[in-house]
Structure 1
Amino acid sequence: MRHPSGRAPRAWRSASLVATAAALLALTTACGQEKGDQSPNGQNVGNQAPAKADGYGAGDGYGADSGAADEGAGAKAKPAGQLAVWDSKKLGKVVTDSAGFTLYRFDKDTAQPPKSNCDAACLKLWPAAPADGAKAAPGVDGSLLGEVTGVDGTKQLTIDGWPMYRYAKDTKPGDAKGQGVGGVWYAAAPDGKKASPPAAGTDPSETAPDKTAPPEAAPADPAGLSTRKDPKLGKIVVDRNGMTVYRFTKDSAWPIKSNCVGACAEKWPAVAPVDKADTKGIAKKGYMTYDRPDGGKQQTIDCWPLYTFAGDKKPGDTNGQGVGGTWYAVSPEGKAVGAPR
């Protein structure tokens, strides 16, 4: 309603100004919001379950069950990117793609010679992991990686000859719903074999973490991201394997941007997405994923991209601290520990 003078009432104008200011504040502080579905550069964030797709009937030999199949990130045929190793308490060491999704192998395939026997119908539920840009996980022999042409013409990633797949029902990093499906699908180990936990009676020295590492560096049931107290740096973030997590001061948080690509990304692998529920002691402010320039996805805290360091060989190492005056361990709030102000 307008004032008889032709001007809007003062109360209405004040409310309008407040609303406008609030909108601008929300835009400029988006990275500080725990809620919200997009990062500052307009990308989807969080770990939302994708829309469902039609299932592929039971009895097909591919391990599909009846009902609708969730179309996870694996169904989008994105390149595998920088591979990583997930140390699962139940499955042992499992290889994942750059987005943290489990990679699988199919018993009906062959490794010598490499051949995929997953046909077009099978691929709807078990999308092939494209080989383009794939890089071995830190500490894994890169010569094990190869490729094979799938039935749909995709150049599919192989590990020690075994074709690699994602599972459409895995909807978030850390899922392994395809394990044992149909008695023919299994999560893959970093060497291409079937992932399996250490056998009973195994020599503990073969699987236990280095005894010189701080006890909290390798908890019995570690979260995807957690913290440990370093004697020199204080409380810092570590990944599931107890490896120190770093920040690069040449990156930016607004908009989110990683300036570590190419050779840099080989030395400083991006931390794959970790579900909020799979963290312990980590601030949720600005906790979101970022679509990297190389096609992978990267976890952030307070909107800052996170990395590990290839020069760290065991849990508790902080060899990346202060490297080049640009790399620093990360605090639970996303701060660069020890960086000059």
Structure 2
Amino acid sequence: MNKKTWHNLALGASALTLLTVSACGSGDGGSQDRNPKQGASPAISVIPGSAGSPPAVSSSAGRFTVHTDDKLGPVVSDARGMTVYVFDKDTTPGTSACEGACAKDWPAVPADRATASPGLNQDLLGSLTRPDGTRQLTLAGKPLYYYAKDTKPKETSGQNIGGVWHAAAPDGWKSGVPRPALGVLNDPKLGPILQDGNGRTLYLFTKDTPWPMKTACGTACLATWTPTGLVSEADAKAAGLPAKTLFPFTTANGSRQESFNCWPGYTFKGDTQPGLTGGQNVGGVWFAIKANIKKIDRGATVPAAKG
């Protein structure tokens, strides 16, 4: 082999080596980065719908967000903007009542790698195992679904179908449906806690004085914390509380405020959506109010949910 032939063979080998590195390396264009198991974008599967419609189900959940619908208010959607729904017939914890033909029209939202954006409480995301072994995403214990005929982001064509399907609110409530004046949020960390008629978490302030009720939340404090309005005995009973839990009182400025076992209630202005608990343990003195107040003793027992 002469010197010129040897030189040409060496150049060819070098080019082959560079080609191999470009195709199989671990750089930005490498095959490892396209593997969903390595954290890249997952594969998408299409559910029934019109031909050529955008995919409505992905192999993993992705990041969930909250957007405001002009008619329904706050609505939860997945990473691609597809609306997710709750089903009134899901009444048994840890199970889905939508199987077989139902699941074709209402595919389960997958739970794998589900995360929450600001405005959605990550602690409320959970999962259940369906009969086929797949994991379905839950929100405050409510199974979540897609609707097969939703073909574009933020579409809500599944709203109120059969009177039992509703777009999911950020706390698992039904978007577009009136809320009770006093609600209960099943928080996995804090347990059942109280909500006001807008779905905002109710808090107590341990610096307040129970019986006779006196608030320690002055002008600066009130810039962040809003006193709870009055609720009726019927509202309390609907939330599972005995009527004697309520102790309405008149504040120093003459306004009326509700208290629970003599502890004045407040909402936190940082909780911009239903289901958030951003006021929990602020300064070590603010705590969500338990929804299962069992002992009524004029404030001797503090109904603080501390997790």
What is the TM-score when the length of structure 1 is the normalising length? 0.37
Using CA pairs below 8 Å that are at least 6 residues apart, which structure has the higher relative contact order?
Answer: 1
What is the TM-score when the length of structure 2 is the normalising length? 0.41
Larger radius of gyration: 2
